[in-house]
Amino acid sequence: MVCLGNICRSPLAHGIMQHLADKHHLNWKIDSAGTGDWHIGKCPDHRSIDIARKHGIELSDQRAQQFKPSFFEEYNHILVMDRSNLRDVLRLAETDEQRAKVQLFLGDGEVADPYYEDDLFVPVFSEIHARCEWWIQKYVNTKNSSSK
């Protein structure tokens, strides 16, 4: 999960996806990062922590990190929150295989950055949660259909 500073959107996506993966007993390695380096080592934004806690998801143990090229080898999917993040991450990709792992988290849409607008945290949480559920169902349905 990748956004700009790794303190708002990507920690929410990381926490929500991990929560849902655990609920479905999926042994997934999930992480998040930012394309920028401003917040390295810091906790997620308190507004992200608060909205996640209201839904039984804990983010306070996460720490911001900057996206590293080694993540292309470490992860099967690199889901970015907006087109700016998409460009920044693709710029670091060296092969077609690496580029193929990178996609917008919402498919064709972008997750709005709530950093400057407190009122966006609730709809951003809802949007991310719905899409994480979509990803889980996509995986579960693909796994079930391929095992028949």
* Inside any domain, residue 148: no
State residue 148's pLDDT score: 42
- pLDDT tens digits for range 55-92: 999 999 999 999 999 999 999 999 999 999 999 999 99
CATH of the domain at 64: 3.40.50.2300
Residues with Cβ within 8 Å of residue 81, at least 6 apart in sequence: 1, 2, 3, 4, 9, 10, 13, 104, 105, 110, 111, 113
Residue 96 lies in domain: 2-141
State residue 147's pLDDT score: 41
For the chain, the average pLDDT equals 95
Q: What is the mean pLDDT of residues 104-123?
A: 97
How many structural domains is the chain composed of?
1
Q: For the sheet with 102-104, list strands across it.
A: 33-34, 2-3, 78-80, 102-104
* Inside any domain, residue 146: no
* Inside any domain, residue 147: no
State residue 139's pLDDT score: 86
Catalytic residue among 45, 82, 113, 132: 113
State residue 141's pLDDT score: 76
* Inside any domain, residue 33: yes
In sequence order, the β-bridge partners of residue 3 are 34
Catalytic residue among 9, 45, 47, 82: 9
Annotated catalytic, 3? yes
